[in-house]
Structure 1
Amino acid sequence: MISEKLKKGHLLIAEPSIIGDLSFNRSVILLADHNKEGSIGFIINKPLKYTISDLIPEIDANFKIYNGGPVEQDNLYFIHNIPDLIPNSVEISNGIYWGGDFESTKDLINSGAISKNNIRFFLGYTGWDENQLENEMQGNSWIIADNNYKNKIIGKSTTHFWKEQIIELGGDYLIWSNAPENPYLN
């Protein structure tokens, strides 16, 4: 379902008009926070070649790391669906939570209490200053989707998530689903 109003928990689906910005080409962003001061989100469909144990050797798990966005790419962030296990997490929406106590999270992963079906890690995030995202919306850079994605973004492959979301939107958007990533190759 397409929404006209931005709010945390919405998905931002990149329109093909974002040609040239490889950070956002065919990106789907989970909007983690949105207020009058700006917005923060995580690109959920751009896996990196790293696992969590590559970055933090004391964690014994092969959970993939995703490119969360171009801001603070040397910082690790995570979303999850287990607020009862991870203290101090913040609800985003639809049973998806952001952050929490990282020491507890490491221990829970190593004990097997947290699986890849519960958590997703990101290097960096996507951020917008006051009114910046609204201006990009007016420039037709993003489609706002408010759909039931809870069981689709943690523990699942989201490599083709952009195309899946475009197909789910249907209508005039369907033509984009089979367009080449680089329109000059068409």
Structure 2
Amino acid sequence: MKSLKLNIFEATEPQLAPAKGRVLIAEPFMEEPFFKRSIVYLAEYNHEGAVGFLLNKSSELYPDEMIEDLFNFRGRLFIGGPVESDSLHYIHTLGAMVTGSIKISDNLYWGGDFEKIKSLINIGMANENNVKFFAGYSGWATGQLEHEIMEKSWVVADVADDLVMNNNVDNYWQKMLEELGGDVYRSWANFPHNPAFN
């Protein structure tokens, strides 16, 4: 009976390969507290491993409460992952205006000159729609992410740039699964937080 239940929830669609600019969507059976029902945006992926940021876990803090000389930034500080949680990272759409940025997709960039980021925000040329701040990051060593995908911990999906920058992350995990379509992903989206209480 247990195997029948797992078969019902097993995805049959071809699995995309992880790549820079794609997301990892946690499968509903993942119980690891940090990544449960999470969506991770991959900012880097190569033979040495992967770096990503949780898109749907915001904190109660605001970057302008913590960053000296940053003013009137209305977006929350997001939890990027469990690695180096005291470090600050940012994804933005400012491109060549911020030297040292790493291009992720057509419109999204990672990092770059932090003083320039602050200046653009403070003079009103950038805001929470252009910049998303993260505390810490999610990281995988060589082969580690591939192993987790083979163990069915993650589904890899493409994502639109505007969804990455979206600050409204309520029910984000469920919404992304529903957008993937198909009966399996809809079942996952409605999977109870604690199956024992279902």
User: Identity, % of aligned pairs?
Assistant: 39
AA aligned opposite 1:56: I
Number of equivalences:
184
**Do structure 1's residue 27 and structure 2's residue 44 form an aligned pair?**
no
1:106-185 residue pairs with structure 2 within 5 A? 106-147=118-159, 149-171=160-182, 172-185=184-197
Question: Of the two, which has the highest radius of gyration?
Answer: 2
- TM-score normalised to structure 2 length: 0.88
User: Is residue 17–residue 140 contact of structure 1 (8 Å, CA) maintained in 2?
Assistant: no
For the structure 1 residues 169 and 77, does the alpha-carbon distance in structure 2 shift closer, same or farther, using more than 3 Å as the test?
A: same
Residues in 2 aligned to 1:94 and 1:5: alpha-carbon distance in whole angstroms? 19
1:94/1:13 Cα in 2 relative to 1: closer, same or farther (>3 Å)?
farther
SS, match of residue 76 in structure 1: strand
Partner of 2:105: 93
- Gaps of at least 5 residues in structure 1 are none
Matched, 1:75 2:87: yes
For residue 7 of structure 2, what is the aligned residue in structure 1?
none
CA contact (8 A) 2:25 2:39 kept: yes
* Cα RMSD for the two superposed structures: 1.5
State the distance in 1 between where 2:197 and 2:114 align. Answer: 44
* Equivalent pair of 2:75/2:167 in contact (CA under 8 Å): no
In structure 2, what is the equivalent of residue 62 of structure 1?
74
Task: State the Cα distance separating 1:132 from its structure 2 match.
Answer: 0.3
Cα offset, 1:87, TM superposition: 1.6
TM-score, normalization: structure 1? 0.93
Q: Which has the higher strand share?
A: 1
Q: Distance in 1 between matches of 2:145 and 2:161?
A: 23
